[in-house]
Chain A
Amino acid sequence: MTLTGRFVALLALGVVPIVILGSTPGMATAVLGLWVLALVGLGILDLAQAGSPRKIVLSRSMPSRVRLGESVTSDLYLTNTGGRRLTMVVRDAWQPSAGTGNNRTPLVLPPGERRLVSLRMTPTRRGERRVDQVTVRSFGPLGLWARQATLRAPGQIRVLPPFNSRKHLPSRMTRLKELDGRTSLLVRGQGTEFDSIREYVRGDDVRSIDWRATARHNDVMVRTWRPERDRRVVILIDSGRTSAARIDDEPRLDTAFEASLLLAALAAGAGDHVDFIAYDRRVRGRVQGAQGAELLSRMVDTMALIEPELIETDWSAVPGEVRAVTSRRALVVLITSIDAAGASSALLSVLPQLTRRNTVIVASVTDPTTLEATRPRGNREEIYRAAAAERALLDVARVSAAIRRQGAEVVTGSPADLPPALADRYIALKAAGRL
C-alpha cells in the first residue's frame, strides 16, 4: 500500500478550511479532525476499488543473447485476470547494468486483456544480466491510495563480449588468403606441405629447383609448397588476479578476449583447429573441437560468464591442460600479464615444458600510461614517477627477454593494439611455416 502525491496535496489543502472556519482553537481542531477523517475515508474507499495487482499473468519474450554495446528489446506481457480495471505503474526490475534506463511504465489494463511493456536495453557489462521480479502499483479510481505487489517473473539475457577487434579481421583475412594463394611458397619448412611442380620463372629461389623433375622435362622446374592446414592453435587465457587490472578502463581479461576472438576467427578461416581455455587455478571456460561459425559463437558464449578471479594463477598445471587438449604439436598462445620478474617466475619455470614440443606466444597488455609517464620531468614528483615508470618498463623488458630465451615469442601492445599484433604474429608464423 502506498499514497500518491494527490493525496498529500489534498491533505495540505486542509489548511484553507482550518483558517477560514477555525475561529476558535476547538473549532479549528474539529475542522482538522473532520478533514483528515474524510480524506482517510476517501483513501480507504479508493483502495477498496483498486484492482488487485496479484491477479496478473506475466510472460516474457526477448533474445537470449546480445553483444555488449548493442541494444535489444525486452518484452513483458501482462494479462489482467481479475474483474477490475487496473490503472497501474509497472516496474520491470532488471539489474542496473542491464541498461534499461527508466523501467517504470504507466499502463491501463482492462479486465481480461493483455498489454505489452517494452523496454529498450543496452547492457553496460558483459555477463549474465538477470531480472527476477516485476513490481506493480495499482491505483484506485480517485488516484489517492494504491496497492502494490512484487511478482516473480524471472528472465535473463547473456551479454557477450563485444568483439570490437573484428574490424581488423577483413584485412588480416586478405593477407592470409594472399599467403594461402601464393602457392609458390618456395621455402620449405615445418607446417608446409608439397603443393605442385611448375616451370621456373625468373626470381624464383634457385634452391627450390627440383632437379629430378627438371631432368624429366625439358625445362627447369621448381617445387612449390603451400602453408599446411589443420594445425592446432591452443589459446589459454590467464583469468587470475592480474587479469582484473584495468588498462584504459578495460580489464586485461576483456582485452584478452578481444585478442583471442580475433585470433580464433583468423585461424579458423585459415583452416586450423582452435581450442580455447580460460584458466587460473581451475578451468573457468573451455571450448574444444568447434569449427567454423560455431567456434566463435561458442567462444563468446563461454567468455560472457568468465570474470577475473582474485587468486594467483597456478602455472604448473598449464602444460598438463595443453597436453590434455592435443598431443600434437600446436601453437600455444598464453594471454597473461608480463610484470615484474617475481610475479612471472611461475610462468617462466613452466615455459620450457611447453616450448619443447610447441610454438609458444606469450601475449600481454601493456599500459600506455606507463610509457607516457617516462616523459614529463618538470618537478620532483614527475621525476620519481618517470623513474618508477622506467623501472616498470625495464621489468617488462627483462621478463620478455627471459621468455624469449626460453624459446617463446612475446607480443605486447596497448588494449587497442594487442589483438591485431597477435593476429599479425600468427600470420608471420604461418608464413614462416613454424606452426
Chain B
Amino acid sequence: MSLLIETASQSAENAVSSTPTLREAGRRARYWLLAGVSALIVAVVSTVLAAGGGVGGKPLEADSAAPAGARALVEVLRRQGVNVTAADTLAEARSLAGAAANPTVFFFDESGYLTDDQLSAMSALAPRTVVASPDFLALQTLIPSVGFGGVSQTAVSRAACTVAAAVKADKLSPGGSTLTIPADDAELSGCFTSGENAFALVEQATADRTLTLLADGTLFSNEKIGQAGNAALALNLLGAGDDLVWYLPTIADVPGTGTPSLGELTPGWVTPTLILLVLVTVAAAVWRGRRFGPLVAENLPVTVRASETMEGRARLYARSNARLRALDALRVGAVQRLAGQVGLSRLASLDDVIAMVATVVDRPPADVRTVLVDAVPASDSDLVALSDRIQEIERATARATTPLPPGRMDS
C-alpha cells in the first residue's frame, strides 16, 4: 500500500496549460468581437439615417416630416422666397424679428409655456402675427373679447369675409375648433363661419399690426395642408412678408423658480463618489467572483434508503385506510412470534397457537381468537385498540413463558 509512484514526467518540460493566453483568447473571440462591432456600426448608422427622416417631433415643428409636423408648409414658403427661421425661445424670436425688415411671426404654443406678459411681448414683435390654436390665456391676453366656439359642424365653410388670404382660400377642410367674436366689434373680422358667430379664423387689424387667430392649428400640418384651401390660406397668411419667424415656445421660456433644485443643493463630490462606488462594486465582483480554475466534476452515487419501500407501503395503507389489511399484517407477525414463545413450530396451525396462548395467559380462547383473528376494525380508534390488545397478549405471553429467576421459584 505504500508504493510510491511518480506520475509526472521527469523531463524539465513546462506543464501544459489549459488556460488560453491573451492572444489565443483574442483569436478565439475574434468572430464575436467582429460581430459585435459590426452590429454596433449597423445600429449607429441606422439611427443616424432614421433621425434624418424621423417621424417624431413636436406638432407643427418647422422641420418635422411627421403627419403633425409642418415641414411641407415651411418648404413651400422657402421655395417661394420667404426666409423661414425657427425660434425656440422668446429672446431668439425677438432677435430674429428685430433683424428682419418686415417680419411675420407664426406662434404655436401647444404646452402653454408662456405667461401673459410674454404673450403680450410676443404679439408686439412683428407687424403680422399668426397665432395657431390659441389657448384661454392667449385669448385673454391678446383679444379678451374672443371666446371659444366649439367644434365646427358644417361640412364646408366658406370664407365669407374681407380678409384677403381667406378670400383666396375660399374654403377650409371640414371640422376643427372655432372661435366666437362679439357682433359689434369693428376691429375684428371672422372668416369661415360655421354657425352662430363661430369662426375658424379671426383677424384683428389695427393701424400698425395685424393679429390673426387660427382656431385650429392642425390645418397647417403636413397631414391637412393639402386639403381644401388650407394651403392657400397658410401661404397667404404667412408669406405676406419676406421673413417668417416660426416660433414654437419650449421649456426654456419658462422662467426659473426661486428655490434651488436638489441638484444645485448636492455637493459636487456626490456623483463622482457614486460612480466610484459602482466601480468598486464591479472590482469587488471580479475579485470575489473570478473562479480559481475550472470546476472539478465527480460522479456521485444516488442515495436510496432501503426502508423507503416500507415507508411507501405504510403511506399507501394510511391513504387507502386499509385497516383490515394492516391489522392482518400485525396479526400474522404476532402469531408467528407467539408460536415461537409458546414452543410451537413456525408451521403450527393457527388454532393450535391460539389454544396454547390462551392456556399460557389464562384467558378464554374465544377472547384470544377475537383479537388475533376475528375482530374487524370499523374505525381508526378500533385499529389502535386492537393493536394495543395484540401487543398486550404478546407481553402477557412473554411474561408467562419467561422463566422466573432462580431463588424465587418457591415463593
Contacts and interface: CB of A to CB of B under 8 A. Distances in A.
B314 A387 contact: yes
A153 interface: yes
Nearest to B287: A3
Interface in B296-320: 296-298, 300-311, 313-315, 317-318
Interface of A: 2-5, 7-8, 11-12, 14-15, 18-19, 22-29, 31-32, 35-36, 53-67, 77, 79, 81, 89, 91, 93-97, 104, 125, 131-135, 137, 148-156, 244-247, 251-252, 307-308, 310, 339, 365, 367, 369-370, 373-374, 377, 379-381, 383-394, 397
A12 B307 CA distance: 57
A192 to B, nearest CB: 31
Contacts of B283: 3, 7-8, 11
18 contacts: A2-B290, A12-B276, A31-B272, A32-B272, A133-B296, A134-B15, A150-B18, A153-B15, A156-B7, A245-B308, A252-B306, A367-B306, A380-B318, A381-B314, A383-B383, A384-B314, A387-B325, A387-B330
B293 interface: yes
Given A32-B272, A388-B310, A133 B293 contact: yes
A130 to B, nearest CB: 8
B4 A63 contact: yes
A209 B311 CA distance: 60
A66 B1 contact: yes
Given A14-B276, A56-B15, A81-B14, A96 B284 contact: no
Nearest to B16: A152
Contacts of B315: 384
Contacts of A104: 292
B29 interface: no
A59 B10 contact: yes
Contacts of B380: 380
Contact of B287 (A4, A27, A54, A59): A4
B296 A95 contact: yes
Nearest to B22: A1
Contact of B280 (A12, A24, A53): A12
A397 B336 contact: yes
A89 B293 CA distance: 12
A8 B284 contact: yes
A387 B391 contact: no
Interface residues of B, number: 71
Contacts of B292: 89, 91, 104, 135, 137, 148
B306 A155 contact: no
Contact of A59 (B6, B272, B314): B6
Contact of B333 (A55, A93, A150, A393): A393
B40 interface: no
Which of B271, B276, B286, B305 has the largest count of A CB atoms less than 10 A from its CB?
A: B276
Closest 9 CB pairs of A and B: A135-B293, A59-B8, A387-B326, A390-B333, A22-B269, A245-B306, A388-B314, A151-B15, A2-B290
B301 A308 contact: yes
Contact of A60 (B7, B307, B325, B387): B7
Which of A5, A53, A387, A397 has the largest count of B CB atoms less than 10 A from its CB?
A: A387
B329 A245 contact: no
A365 B2 CA distance: 33
Nearest to A155: B7
A397 B347 CA distance: 12
Nearest to A22: B269
B7 A150 contact: no
A385 B383 CA distance: 13
Contact of A25 (B1, B272, B296): B272
Nearest to A365: B306
Contact of A150 (B2, B6, B21, B294): B294
B202 to A, nearest CB: 51
Given A61-B4, A244-B302, A246-B306, A387 B317 contact: yes
Interface in B7-31: 7-10, 12-19, 21
B276 A57 contact: no
Given A247-B306, A387-B329, A2 B287 contact: yes
B42 interface: no
A93 B272 contact: no
Nearest to A81: B14
Interface string B193-237: 000000000000000000000000000000000000000000000
Given A244-B301, A386-B330, A377 B391 contact: yes
Which of A60, A63, A385 has the largest count of B CB atoms less than 10 A from its CB?
A: A385
Contact of A18 (B273, B293, B297): B273
Given A28-B273, A151-B17, 7 more contacts: A22-B272, A81-B12, A94-B296, A150-B293, A153-B8, A153-B15, A370-B310
Contacts of A63: 1-5
B5 A387 contact: no
A27 B332 CA distance: 92
B272 A54 contact: no
Contacts of B33: none
Given A135-B293, A380-B318, A388-B310, A152 B304 contact: no
